[in-house]
A and B are shown apart, each in its own frame.
Chain A
Amino acid sequence: MERFNQTIEKLYREMIQIGSLQIPCRELRDQGMALFREKGIPHGKMEKWRHKAIDTLLLKPDQPFKPYLIQTEPSPYQPIDQVFKCEIKNIGTISYHLLNGWYVHQNKPLDVWENGVIVGSINAAYQQFPELVKKYFNQLNPEKQDGLIALNQALFTDGVFIYVPDNVVVETPIQIVSLVDTLQKLMIQHHHLVIVGKNSQLSLVHCNDSVHEENSFINNILEINLEANAQLHYYKMENKDAQSILVNNTFVNQAADSRFTSNMITFNCGYVRNSLEVHLNEEGADANLYGLYLVDRKQYIDNQVNVIHHVPHCTSNQIYKGIADDEAGANFSGHIYVAKDAQQTAAYQINRNIALTDEAKITTRPFLEIYADDVKCSHGATIGQLDENAMFYLRTRGICLRNARMLLMFAFANEIANLVLIEKLRERLNDMIKRRLSGELTICDQCMMNCADKENLIYDIDTTRLRS
Chain B
Amino acid sequence: MLKIQNLHVSIHGKEILKGINLEVKRGEVHAIMGPNGTGKSTLASVIAGKEIFDVTEGTITYKDKNIFDLSIEDRAREGIFIGFQYPVEIPGVSITNFMRTALNEIRTYRGLEPLGAAQFLRLMEEKKKIVELHSKLSERSVNEGFSGGEKKKNEIFQMAVLEPELAILDETDSGLDIDALRVVANGVNQLRSPENSTVVITHYQRLLDYIVPDVVHILFDGKIVKSGPKELAMELEEKGYDWIKSEYEQSKLIGK
Name B's interface SS: helix
- Which residues of chain B have C-beta atoms less than 8 A from A398's C-beta? 73, 76-77, 102-103, 105-106, 109, 162
Is A397 touching B88 in the complex (CB atoms < 8 A)?
no
Is A394 touching B90 in the complex (CB atoms < 8 A)?
yes
Is A397 touching B76 in the complex (CB atoms < 8 A)?
yes
A126 within 8 A of B: no
Interface string of A396-435 (1 = CB under 8 A from B): 1111110100011011101100000000000000000000
Report how far A465 CA is from B88 CA in the complex, Å: 20
Contact of A389 with B76 at beta-carbon distance under 8 Å, contacts A411-B93, A462-B117 already known: no
Report how far A466 CA is from B162 CA in the complex, Å: 20
**Shortest CB distance A369–B (Å):** 31
Is A407 touching B97 in the complex (CB atoms < 8 A)?
yes
**Shortest CB distance B8–A (Å):** 22
Report how far A146 CA is from B11 CA in the complex, Å: 56
Is A395 touching B141 in the complex (CB atoms < 8 A)?
no
- Which residues of chain B have C-beta atoms less than 8 A from A414's C-beta? 92
Q: Which of A403, A410, A411, A414 has the most CB of B within 10 A?
A: A411
A88 within 8 A of B: no
| Closest residue on chain B to residue A463 by CB atoms | B97
**Shortest CB distance A55–B (Å):** 39
**Shortest CB distance A225–B (Å):** 36
Is B88 touching A389 in the complex (CB atoms < 8 A)?
yes
B30 within 8 A of A: no
Contact of A399 with B100 at beta-carbon distance under 8 Å, contacts A389-B88, A411-B93 already known: no
B91 within 8 A of A: yes
Is A465 touching B94 in the complex (CB atoms < 8 A)?
yes
**Shortest CB distance A466–B (Å):** 5
Instruction: Give the residues from 114 to 135 in chain B that come closer than 8 angstroms, CB to CB, to chain A.
Output: 114, 117
A86 within 8 A of B: no
- Which residues of chain A have C-beta atoms less than 8 A from B92's C-beta? 408, 410-412, 414-415, 466-467
Is A467 touching B141 in the complex (CB atoms < 8 A)?
yes
Interface residue from A396, A401, A408, A463 paired with B90 (Cβ < 8 Å):
A408
Taking residues whose C-beta sits less than 8 angstroms from the other chain, chain B's interface range is 35 or more
Report how far A400 CA is from B102 CA in the complex, Å: 9
A461 within 8 A of B: yes
Is A459 touching B101 in the complex (CB atoms < 8 A)?
yes
Contact of A407 with B101 at beta-carbon distance under 8 Å, contacts A396-B72, A397-B76 already known: yes
Report how far A465 CA is from B90 CA in the complex, Å: 15
A393 within 8 A of B: yes
Is A395 touching B93 in the complex (CB atoms < 8 A)?
no
Instruction: Give the residues from 83 to 101 in chain B that come closer than 8 angstroms, CB to CB, to chain A.
Output: 84, 87-88, 90-94, 96-101
B27 within 8 A of A: no
**Shortest CB distance B136–A (Å):** 10
Q: Which of B48, B92, B138 has the most CB of A within 10 A?
A: B92
| Closest residue on chain B to residue A400 by CB atoms | B73
| Closest residue on chain B to residue A464 by CB atoms | B117
- Which residues of chain A have C-beta atoms less than 8 A from B108's C-beta? 459
- Which residues of chain A have C-beta atoms less than 8 A from B206's C-beta? none
Is A465 touching B73 in the complex (CB atoms < 8 A)?
no
Interface residue from A387, A400, A408 paired with B105 (Cβ < 8 Å):
A400
Is B102 touching A397 in the complex (CB atoms < 8 A)?
yes
**Shortest CB distance A461–B (Å):** 6
Is B96 touching A465 in the complex (CB atoms < 8 A)?
yes
- Which residues of chain A have C-beta atoms less than 8 A from B48's C-beta? 392, 396
Is B102 touching A399 in the complex (CB atoms < 8 A)?
yes
**Shortest CB distance A422–B (Å):** 21
Is B94 touching A399 in the complex (CB atoms < 8 A)?
no
Report how far A335 CA is from B157 CA in the complex, Å: 47
Is A461 touching B90 in the complex (CB atoms < 8 A)?
no
B82 within 8 A of A: yes
**Shortest CB distance B54–A (Å):** 17
**Shortest CB distance A117–B (Å):** 38
B50 within 8 A of A: yes
A170 within 8 A of B: no
- Which residues of chain A have C-beta atoms less than 8 A from B117's C-beta? 462, 465
A18 within 8 A of B: no
Q: What would be 19 A-B contacts, judged by CB atoms less than 8 Å apart?
A: A389-B88, A390-B90, A392-B49, A394-B102, A395-B49, A395-B72, A396-B49, A396-B76, A397-B99, A398-B76, A400-B73, A400-B105, A401-B73, A407-B90, A408-B90, A411-B92, A462-B117, A465-B94, A465-B138
**Beyond A461-B101, A465-B117, A468-B139, 17 additional pairs, beta carbon < 8 A:** A387-B88, A392-B48, A392-B49, A392-B88, A393-B88, A394-B102, A396-B72, A396-B76, A397-B162, A407-B98, A407-B101, A411-B90, A414-B92, A459-B104, A463-B97, A466-B92, A466-B94
Instruction: Spell out B's residues near A (CB within 8 Å).
Output: 48-50, 71-73, 75-77, 82, 84, 87-88, 90-94, 96-106, 108-109, 114, 117, 138-142, 158, 162
